[in-house]
Structure 1
Amino acid sequence: MPFLAAAFFVTALLYAAVGFGGGSTYAALLALWGVDYRLLPLIALACNIVVVAGGTIRFARAKVTPWRDALLVTALAAPAAFLGGLTPIARDAFMVLLGASLLLTGLTMLIPVRENAVAEPGRIARYMPIIAAPLGYLAGLVGIGGGIFLAPLLHLTRWRDARAIAATASLFILINSLFGLAGQMLKHGPHAFGQAISGALPLLIAVAIGGQIGSLLAIRFLPQRAIRWLTAALVIWVGGRLLLGL
């Protein structure tokens, strides 16, 4: 458990530094550790909530969250995340989806991020609430927040400036994680959630500390590009290990 807690700490630190929760990597690390795959989403989503809740509050206090548009993007995705959490899935299919999600996550982390809005939003940007719905379903299915998929699309379509996109992704992850966790609890029962969380308290503490340090490092010390590349390398390695182990 100390090694796993350290891995969760590093994951939370890196992901929080780039505005995400880390749910996909938490789930993959638990899978590599041999934890029952049915409990993975419960633990990963709980860790996600711990990490992004603080970020969402900070963005709100800084008044950079575009509330109307952010809530529109989340409106269809959150119920879809709940349905994804309710959907039964076989172990092998779960592992393939999780591993593929990690590889895609790593690649999307390498997409250049605009610091300021320099052009009008693309035409597809107006359809982002509809596009976000399947992302929410996938997020609930494999136990992640889904913001790691949403944010690159928002950047590519010039939806908003970088800070507004980071704030929207943080809110998206938080709400999807809550809805996905509710679906997972209904699917497996409250006893499964109690079992998962009772054995994961050190992990929750590790991500809480790591998330706060990650936010501080991003603001005061480390360049965003270096953090994103480190995070991409981490998730690609873990995703590859997961797929090769099937």
Structure 2
Amino acid sequence: MTTDYLPIIFFLIALFYSSVGFGGGSSYLAILSLFLTEFYEIRSMALILNICVVSIGTFVFVKNRVFNLRQFWPFLISSIPLAYLGAQLRLSETTFFLILGSSLILSGLFLLLRYLKAKMESRQFSLPKKLSLGGSIGFLAGVSGIGGGIFLSPVLNLLNWSNTRMVAALASFFILVNSLAGLVGLTVAGTFQLNEKLILQLVIAVILGGCLGSYLSNKRFNLRFLGVLTAVLVTYVGLRLVLLHGLGVRI
């Protein structure tokens, strides 16, 4: 299949995901798996694209003073080493896509609930709770080959931790540091690979999409529609990965 239209598709994915504080790694994985045959090449490229998008988002959140490292560090300190370890696991392609797809289906449903439920009063978490959440989701991020913010954000919103913009800022930085840790893990394990012909085009596309999505997110526009659309997209991507790559069912 031709890859001529991939930059446009990836631009739109980066726009949707960055508008709610994500990087789009799950959808990059799903789409790249239709065009590329090298499993570790797909994982490596998805992480690179993730890093490009959430670097922009993190910068914009810091600039707009939404970023709060004192609140964020417990989630990060436990997630980074576990994301590194998770990325070094050598899973079969089938097992990888089953884990990723199942996680995305749950995350998509949680994300949809986030936008449908009534707003409740936010509350703070204890240090052990932050550490355990960060560590478990960081390990899943490393294993699945994405930053993990798409798992963390719906959980935090459903549990009413802080406000939605603070959660989006944490998710963006969480994805950044864990994608970097995962990239190091792939490199150490000797499984880091890139399609040099394609990666530059896609990097440019997701940077443009990430800039626009982060701008919309931090201008306090009503992003409910984009959020619901992203939730539906995440659920669909997860279902497709489970059926097509996990169970071998053509859809």
Relative to the length of structure 2, the TM-score reads: 0.87
Asked whether the equivalents of residues 28 and 99 of structure 1 are also in contact (C-alpha less than 8 Å), the reply is no
Deviation at 1:188, TM superposition (A): 2.4
Deviation at 1:57, TM superposition (A): 1.2
- For structure 2, the 5+ residue unaligned runs are none
Distance, in Å, in 2 between the alignment partners of 1:227 and 1:32 is 25
Aligned-pair identity (%) = 38
Amino acid at match of 1:118: E
- For structure 1, the 5+ residue unaligned runs are none
Q: CA RMSD in A?
A: 2.3
Deviation at 1:146, TM superposition (A): 0.3
Amino acid at match of 2:242: L
- Corresponding position of 2:24: 22
Distance, in Å, in 2 between the alignment partners of 1:21 and 1:11 is 9
Asked whether the equivalents of residues 51 and 208 of structure 1 are also in contact (C-alpha less than 8 Å), the reply is yes
- Corresponding position of 2:238: 239
What SS does the corresponding residue of 1:172 show, helix, strand or coil? helix
Q: How does 1:181-220 map to 2 (within 5 A)?
A: 181-189=183-191, 192-193=192-193, 195-219=194-218
Alpha-carbon spacing, 1:115–1:78, altered in 2? closer, same or farther (3 Å): farther
Asked whether the equivalents of residues 42 and 196 of structure 1 are also in contact (C-alpha less than 8 Å), the reply is no
Correspondence for 1:95 among 94, 97, 103:
97
88-97 vs 208-217, which moves further: 208-217
Alpha-carbon spacing, 1:174–1:201, altered in 2? closer, same or farther (3 Å): same
Amino acid at match of 1:112: R
1:138-185 alpha-carbon deviations (Å, 9 max, x no partner) = 111121000111112222332212222111111111100100111011
Alpha-carbon spacing, 1:179–1:74, altered in 2? closer, same or farther (3 Å): same
Amino acid at match of 2:121: V
107-116 vs 164-173, which moves further: 107-116
Deviation at 1:196, TM superposition (A): 3.4
Correspondence for 2:145 among 143, 150, 153:
143
Distance, in Å, in 1 between the alignment partners of 2:221 and 2:167 is 20
Number of paired residues? 242
Distance, in Å, in 2 between the alignment partners of 1:56 and 1:4 is 25
1:187-223 alpha-carbon deviations (Å, 9 max, x no partner) = 125xx43x33553111111111111122234455963
Alpha-carbon spacing, 1:144–1:117, altered in 2? closer, same or farther (3 Å): same
The question of 1:53 aligning with 2:55 is answered: yes
Q: How does 1:214-229 map to 2 (within 5 A)?
A: 214-219=213-218, 223-229=222-228
Amino acid at match of 1:120: R
